[in-house]
Chain A
Amino acid sequence: MSIPLKNRVTILVLGLTLSFSSIINAQVDSNAKTLFDQFSQSVYQVRVLEKQSRTKAAIGSGFFASSQGLLVSNYHVVAPYVQEPDKYALEVVNQENNRLPMDVIAVDVINDLALLKPTTILSKRLAIPLSHQLPVKGEEIYSLGNPHDLGFTVVEGTFNGYVAKAFYSRLLFTGPINPGMSGGPVLNRQGELVGVNVATAGNELGFLVPLEKIRALLNKAQLNHIDDFTSLQKQIIQQVYKNESLFMQALYQKKWPEKNLGKAQVIGEIAPFISCWGDAQNDDERLIKSVYTRCRSEGSMFLSPRLSTGSVEYEFHFVYTTRLNSHQFYQWYSNRIRHMSAGNRATKTDVSSFVCHEDIVNKEGAYKSVFCSRQYHNFPLLYDVLFVTASLDRYQEGVISHFALGGVTKKNGIRFAQDFMRYSRWKP
């Protein structure tokens, strides 16, 4: 299933093979220059190194944000190291090319944050202070980082408040942030932290992890003695489970709105962070005409380069023909339920194969229905759930409904399927 291009968000971690041609025009005014001079000692490049070749597997940025010498970055930057500490090593490098080996002591996978600590005791580092409040909309803010491994840069941009439709809370930054800047700090005019670079949608649209999420993670680290942190994997599991329950609750905050799709009645945007797109293919020369709507939650939770979860998508197709006979129509209709896929990214190392149950279900007419699930190896309470249903009660028209949930419990998966089945039907 394709996503409209403007919805596509690139995570700002830079892989090895990336090539680029665009030049970043960072307008460095005097304020930016001051900030750069002031904090260039606090901003580092974060490198995940493959142990055998000692080469960079991934790079991002990071910065010191506490007097205890804790460095903040994105979880997705350090994810290869967290997932496979035997294979990868972690280090940070400053402008003078001084290398510091690092360890990850805490993560927040929901908000894509990681706290790193040097493995050796350091002389005091200048920490970037946290702002007490977010800037006003339209205020100039400055993003720091090391785009494309080209060297440290400061990028001036505009603060645009919270992203309106997002389950995973993000700030909108208009300014060119690029791969490699992930985990870099974003400062206000006073040189205080307001967010952390996390993703870009291209065309000078950048996304930041909001200030309060960083503050929460740092506070948690201060409350607990740092060495008391439960193992990272346990932290991640707890956070993923917590996120699942929050996500599913959020889908049930209001009565699901119904809307018409041709002769069918389907559901629209069931939560504020879900957006629907649609189109119709009903030109006269078409043998089979269709109207469809596709809805998906904005963003997902990054767990590893191979696995993302915590998302939902659903689609409805109303298809009809006047020019083909019923047999021809059903032949074509069969092709339309083929190759339904999960909405999230996952591979063999993370999930089982899908197991499906299929039957003909009676719902004021017969419906072919398929329910599939696959389990997460590392989060045994969670499953990806996929459901398809196609009406079989009309000769020359049909409605196909499909949803895919990424990372839900059994109970929530069944509950969603139950409601989804109730809501997708013919117009009374």
Chain B
Amino acid sequence: METIIEVYSRSGKFLERFRTSKTSFTLGRAFSCDVILSEPHISPHHVTVEVNESLNAWQLTDADTINGTGFKNRRCHGESLLLQSGDEVVMGKWRIRFYQSTHAVTETVRLTSADTFLSSMGQPLVIGIVLSLFVIYTGLQSQTSSLHDSWLSSWTNHLIGYLIFLAMWSALWTFVGRVSRHEMRFFSHFGTTALLLMILLLFEEFAKWLAFNWQSNHLPGFVERWSFGIFLGLALWSNMYLATNHGPKTRRRFSIGMAFLVIGYGTVQEHIQKKDFIALPVYSDILYHQDYYWMTPTSQEEFLTKSAQTFETAAQQSDDKEETTN
């Protein structure tokens, strides 16, 4: 029986792997050991392992070491333990796992389309396209909203603002990736986040136009909350996919959780504000030229008929108030 010994750090990072076909071997810091583990908290001759063919297991004996050998949340000094294939013991700060060479390995993970997509987002061509979109978008935005003869300064301000945000966000996740995964992937972070932000910005403009066409005062706020929530969820999911060691479940939970936290906070906030008395009327102030209005304008008569219904609603509100004060 061949024995495979895997060494992991305390945080679960894989360090080394040894293979031996001996029926008896030693583990420790001493150079005379069969498996040398250079970790200061491990004793020079820490454990002796005997293969027990009949039980299809290993008999591990701690040499009454200073820090002992941990097994199943218990610390042993000078005891013998019986290990099955796949069992793990703790020596010093390291975790040692024992496998038989016949032990089954986990199934192959298929490369997902997400992985291909996120990797391609780091390509220079894609980054170039996304950046040009930002240049065009901020240019249009400045030209339509800045109230100056020259909209160039507004343009550069907007563009630099977005770029600083994207660079800092990506740098933060690159750092996270460097720490936990030992890979940077700055451009993938940058490309993905920039694309998502672009979609968010365009969608909000679209929502404004929709609100103008539907004459809805609530739509922009509603869309703003949800689209921002969705943007944040997707961005976090991608950033985590690229930077952290979390499994798909944790990743999904975290990103959806954060998204709903943001949406929920906004909704609660709006609900609280709604309860208060407002001396000023609340209505939508989005104005576009009539070319942008794609619905049929209402007639004056119909407008006034519907306006008359505000009296009933106001009276209803008055009654509700009296009921609560009485």
Contact = CB atoms under 8 A, between A and B. Distances in A.
A355 B289 contact: no
Given A360-B295, A366-B290, A377 B283 contact: no
B282 A287 contact: no
Interface stretch (A82-90, A201-209, A250-258, A323-331): A323-331
Interface stretch (B90-98, B118-126, B313-321): B313-321
B315 A375 contact: yes
A392 B300 contact: no
Interface stretch (A44-52, A143-151, A413-421): A413-421
B281 A287 contact: no
A320 to B, nearest CB: 14
Interface string B276-312: 0111111111111110010111111001101111110
A340 B310 CA distance: 17
Contacts, number: 157
A373 interface: yes
B217 interface: yes
B19 to A, nearest CB: 71
B149 A377 contact: no
Nearest to B298: A359
B215 A410 contact: no
Nearest to B288: A330
Contacts of A366: 290, 293, 297
Contacts of B310: 355-357, 371-373
Contact of B308 (A337, A365, A370, A410): A410
Interface string B81-95: 000000000000000
Given A287-B149, A325-B143, A418-B300, A371 B307 contact: yes
Nearest to B311: A410
Nearest to A332: B147
Contacts of B215: 358-360
Given A346-B279, A361-B300, A386-B281, A395 B147 contact: no
Given A324-B147, A331-B144, A352-B318, A360 B311 contact: no
A63 B195 CA distance: 79
A346 B280 CA distance: 11
A354 interface: yes
Contact of A375 (B149, B217, B279, B314): B314
B148 interface: yes
Contacts of A288: 147
Contacts of A331: 144-145, 147
A284 to B, nearest CB: 13
B146 interface: yes
Interface size class of B (residues with CB under 8 A): 35 or more
Interface in A311-355: 323-328, 330-335, 337-342, 346-348, 352-355
B280 A354 contact: yes
B53 interface: no
A365 B147 contact: no
A339 B280 contact: yes
B299 A362 contact: yes
A390 interface: yes
Contacts of B295: 360
A380 interface: yes
Contact of B313 (A337, A346, A355, A360): A355
A383 interface: yes
Interface string A394-418: 1100000000000000100110011
Contacts of A348: 277
Given A357-B306, A360-B295, A362-B299, A287 B148 contact: yes
B318 A328 contact: no
A213 interface: no
Nearest to B297: A362
B322 interface: yes
Given A362-B296, A410-B308, 20 more contacts: A328-B143, A330-B287, A334-B285, A337-B287, A339-B280, A340-B281, A352-B314, A352-B315, A357-B307, A359-B297, A359-B303, A361-B300, A361-B303, A370-B283, A373-B311, A375-B311, A375-B318, A380-B318, A410-B311, A414-B304
Interface of B: 143-149, 215, 217, 277-290, 293, 295-300, 303-304, 306-311, 313-315, 317-318, 321-322
